[in-house]
Amino acid sequence: MSKPRLSIVIHTEEEFDWAAGFYQSNTQVKHGHDLLQMCQPMLALGCGITLAMDWAFICSEQGLEIIQEMQGKYAPQIEFASHLHPWVNPPFDNDGQDKVEEFLSYPGNLTETQEREKLKLLTEKIQEITGTRPTTYLAGRYGVGKNTYKILKELGYKVDVSTSPFSDFSRQQGPDFSAFTNQPFTTEGIHCIAHSRGYISHVNALSDWLNSDPQHIEKLNQNMLGKLFLKCLGVMIVRLSPEGFSAKQICQLRDSLVRINTEHLVYSFHSASSLLGGTPYSDTSANRAYLQQENIRALATLTQTTQSVLFRDCF
C-alpha cells in the first residue's frame, strides 16, 4: 500500500493585526530571517514546501531575499504559488480609501473583473521575480467564489488549495465549506486539494465516522444529548497545523484521515508565525517556541508515514 501524499503550504504574507481590519497600506514584511530559520529544519527532514506568496511579500526586500535563498539552496524542494490578499494587491478601486471592508477581503467576493485583474498581476509578478509561472493558488482567507475556478483556468493554474473542510466563514461574509470533507475534487478543470481539517476524539471509530461525512456532526449537534455525547468523548476539530495544535493532535488527525483513505494531506501555517508577535500563535516567546517545537515534532512523524510532494509535481 502506497503512502498518502503530504504537501506543506505556508501562507506567505505581510504581518498585520488580524483583529484590526484590512488596510491597503499594511505591507510590512520583517520576518524573512525568522521564516528561513523555521524552514531550514523542515527542509532538512526532506519536506517539500510550497510558499503561497502574496503581493506584499514578493514586493518586499526580505521577501526577495527569501526567494533568492530558496532558489539558490533548496530549489528542488520549493514551489512558489500565489496567495491573493485583495487589500494589498493592485489594481485598486477604492477611491483612495486605505481601509478595505471585510466583505472585500475575500477574493471571491470581488467582481469577476476585479478578481481576475488582481490575480493576473500577482501571477505575472511571481513569474517575473521567480522565473516560474505559478500553477498552485491559495485564496486569501480561503476566499474562493463563483468566478474563481474559471479565472484560475484562464490564467493557467492547475491546483487550488483554498478549501477548508467543516468550516463556515459566512458569518464573516466569506465562503461556507461546512459540506466539504478532506477528499480532493476537481471543478472546472482545477484540482482542489483541501487544507487538512477534521475531528479527533477518544474513540478512533468516532473520529473516522465524523470525518467521513459532514452530516454526522450536524445530526449530533441538533440536540443536547448529542452535544453531551461529543463532549464526553473528547471530540474537537483540528488542523494539520502547528498553529494552535500539538504534534499529538496533528498526528491523531493524520491517522484518522489516512484510515478513511484521504488521498492527499495538506499541512499549513502562516509565515508571520515565525516572528515573535507576528500572529496570535506566536504572541509570546513561550508560544512561539512551542509552535516551532511542535512543528518539527509533528513533521518528523508525518514524513515517516507519508510521501512529501509539491503540488506542481502531482498534475
CB 86 within 8 A of CB 107: yes
3-state secondary structure of 130: helix
Q: Give the pLDDT score at 300.
A: 97
Looking at this protein, which amino acid is placed at residue 293?
Q
At 163 the pLDDT is 98
Q: pLDDT at position 279, please?
A: 98
Question: Which residue, among 308, 302, 285, 155, has the nearest Cα to 241 in the 3D structure?
Answer: 302
Distance from C-alpha of 286 to C-alpha of 124, rounded to nearest angstrom: 39
With a cut of 50, list the residues of the chain below it in pLDDT: none
Q: What is the pLDDT, as a whole number, of residue 96?
A: 79
Contacts of 25 (CB under 8 A, 6+ apart): 98
Whether the CA torsion 144, 148, 153, 155 is positive or negative: it is: negative
Q: What is the predicted pLDDT for the residue at 18?
A: 94
Residues 6+ away with beta carbon under 8 Å from 311: 7, 9, 50, 79, 81, 135, 136, 158, 159, 161, 193
For residue 293, give Cα distances in angstroms to 7, 50, 139, 243, 270.
Answer: 19, 20, 28, 11, 16
Residue in 71, 67, 77, 73 with CA at minimum distance from that of residue 46: 77
Contact 161, 131 (CB under 8 A): no
- Predicted model pTM: 0.97
Asked if residues 307 and 254 have their Cβ atoms less than 8 Å apart, the reply is no
Measure the CA–CA gap between 209 and 230, rounded to whole angstroms. Answer: 12
What is the DSSP track for 155-204?
A: TT--EE----TT-B-GGGT--B-TT--SS-EEETTEEE-PPPEEEE-SSH
Q: How many CB atoms lie within 10 A of CB 219?
A: 10
pLDDT in tens, 125-175: 999 999 999 999 999 999 999 999 999 999 999 999 999 999 999 999 999
Q: If you compute the radius of gyration of the chain from its CA atoms, what whole number of angstroms results?
A: 19
How deeply is 300 buried, as exposed, middle or buried, from its count of CB atoms within 10 A (0-12, 13-18, 19+)? middle
CB atoms within 10 A of CB 74: 15
Q: Enter the C-alpha cell of residue 182.
A: 478532506
Write out pLDDT tens, residues 57-95: 999 999 999 999 999 999 999 999 999 999 999 999 877
